[in-house]
Amino acid sequence: MGGSTHFSVFLLVAIILLCSSSKTANATCYASEKQALMDFKKALKDPYGRLSSWIHDVDCCKWEGVVCSKRSGRVIQLHLQSPVREIDVSGDEVFVDPKSPLSGKISHSLQNLTRLRYLDLSLNDFSGIPIPSFFGSLRSLRYLNLSGAGFQGTVPYQLGNLSSLRTLSIGGYPSDLQVDNLQWLAGLPNLEHLDMSAVNLSLASNWLEVINTIPSLVEIHLSSCQLDLISHHLGRDTFVFHANFSSLSVLDLSENFLGHLIPRWIFGLTVLASLDLSGTKLEGPLSRGLCNLTSLQHLDLSFNYLNCSLPDELIHLNNLISLNLTENQFEGFLDGIWNWSSLTSLDLSYNNFATFLPSQLSTLTALISLYLRSNHFRGSIPSSIANISNLQYLDLSDNNLSSSLPSEVFTSKDLITLDARANHLNGPIPSTVGNCTKLKYLGLNDNALSGSIPSNLGRCTQLKELLLSNNALSGSIPSNLGKLLSLEHLDVSHNKLTGTLPESLWQLSKLKELRIYDNLIEGIVSESHLDNLTALWYFSASGNSLTLKVSASWNPRAQFETLGLGSWKLGPQFPTWIRSQKILWDLNLSFTGISDTIPPWLFNSSLGIVDLSHNQLHGGISYILCEVKNENQVLSYLDLRENSLSGEIPDCWMNYLNLTHINLNSNNFTGSIPRSLFLLEDLDYLSLGNNSLTGPITFDFVNHE
């Protein structure tokens, strides 16, 4: 008896250990499912080998993007989304790695993956094929993401068979999908996340009633679906519709037409945390019903026509984390916003606020982003803004702010962006700017700032853009700016800067745009200076007293699109290195002491703007313009005034139909006005005065001298 008991205990322990080991050991995939995946791969186009691990000699549970059940070895997940293809909200591709998107066709063999729970094909490029209707037979699916994958046509109603589905995402940008009727959605009683953004739902008049039958929904994304509630029988005048979205946390109906007013049923969504109604043509004052949404954390009403003061009802939304009211017609005061102690992002840009900036802004201590651009705010920037210790992004540009720039603004060490362009700020740039060592963007242009550029700016080593143009800054460019090794865009143009360019400036190897025009800078620039700036494509330095010293055989290492060297000492020969510039569009060599003929190769290029005025150029221009071999002429602006050019004005202007501006004034041209000038339909400025032309000078169009 005892032996039998011991044997039974031993057998029980062995069974437990066997079951335990079966749970931890990874099972290999089924042969039939491996073959199904191989057939699926065969129908795809994958020229760069994203699925290169999918080979017969390897267990398919170890293939890239494939997840199997550890217990059974059945394929349960396919993660095949394009990893780096990004598309912004407007539908534009921000960054695309051509090696990433899969394309081709989708094999019916996927139907053999009967335990598949998760399928993500998003952000690939299936080039207009329809969503396969057989996806509706994958009954185990809980997650289906086809967004931004290039599918077109009608969304198959068979998707309504996926009764276990928790997440359905079939929209995204770009999208050419449409739905005639959404009744099939009622077959998804467990759905929690629905994203049909950019799917055309204009014919699905019952969309709201159908979605209302799914109380499990937590997120609804129906942006840019061509919804029109004003023509829908559940429009703004209805009082009978009751939303059944008891669990709804996120609602995005942006870029649709909601009928001027926020639909009343939205105010019953008391657990709603995020509401996006941007671009829905809302008008007038904000509805008082907003105060019911006390759980709101994110509210976006941007790009509408709301024209009122900030209503008192907003005060009750004291859980707000972000509020976006940009591009409306709000006005009045900012009273009442101080209750938003949790607010991290506030955007009131492009409205009609004309009040002073209140010092109480400092009570919003959680703010990370504050955008107030393009209003009519006046007065000074309150120094108390320094109390917003977490502030990273501050945009006050294009307002009527005056007085000096308070030094306290730069006490926030986390500041990444400060934009105060296009105001009336005066006085010096505070030396405390050097405290903002995380600063990447500083825009102070188009003000009335004076004094010198603080050398402490050299401590802001993460700066990428430094914009100080159109002020009254004086002194020389500090050598410490050479420490800004991340700088890509430097603009100090149209100031009163003097002295020479510091040697350290030429060490900024990441510099793409350098604008120093209209100052009083002097000195010598050599080829070794410019050759360090290999990324430079926009160099505008006209209106200074600089001299370029280069060898006769020099060709710049950079390729310029814009090159402004007006008032430099370049002559007497025409700079031959210009010929090496393959993308040059805007060329200014005015007042440069060139005493030479215009080289015949100059217009065999991509030039759109040419200013060679106020030199001693001589010779004719007919052979230069009329014998040019470039058939794709884009020349739109030509200024050759105040030279010694001679001969007849060429009669081949029909080859330059993009020209809007021609100035040949004050030369030695002879002969008559060529008829081909009258073929330039877009020409709005023509000056031929102070030459020796014969015959009547008459024009059939206006704005010509």
Question: Which sign, positive or negative, has the C-alpha torsion 496, 498, 501, 503?
Answer: negative
Bridge partners, 496 (sequence order):
474
In one-letter notation, the amino acid at residue 246 is S
pLDDT on residue 287:
84
Nearest Cα to Cα of residue 193 among 206, 175, 211, 181: 211
- Dist CA 222 CA 227 (whole Å): 9
Q: How many CA atoms lie within 13 A of 535 on its CB side?
A: 14
Terminal-residue alpha carbon distance, the chain: 123
Q: Mean pLDDT per 10-residue run, the chain (705 residues)?
A: 50 45 61 96 92 94 95 95 57 50 95 97 93 97 96 96 97 85 95 96 91 95 88 47 88 92 91 97 89 94 92 82 96 81 95 92 92 97 91 97 93 93 97 95 98 96 98 97 97 98 96 98 96 96 97 94 97 94 97 96 93 97 88 91 96 94 97 93 94 67 42
| C-alpha torsion 168→173→176→178, nearest 10 | 40
Give the DSSP letter of residue 681. Answer: T
Neighbours of 625 (CB within 10 A): 22
Q: pTM for the full model? A: 0.87
pLDDT on residue 4:
52
pLDDT on residue 84:
58
3-state secondary structure of 429: coil
pLDDT on residue 630:
74
Please check whether residue 176 is in contact with residue 152, taking contact to mean a CB–CB distance below 8 angstroms. yes
Neighbours of 184 (CB within 10 A): 18
Please check whether residue 293 is in contact with residue 315, taking contact to mean a CB–CB distance below 8 angstroms. no
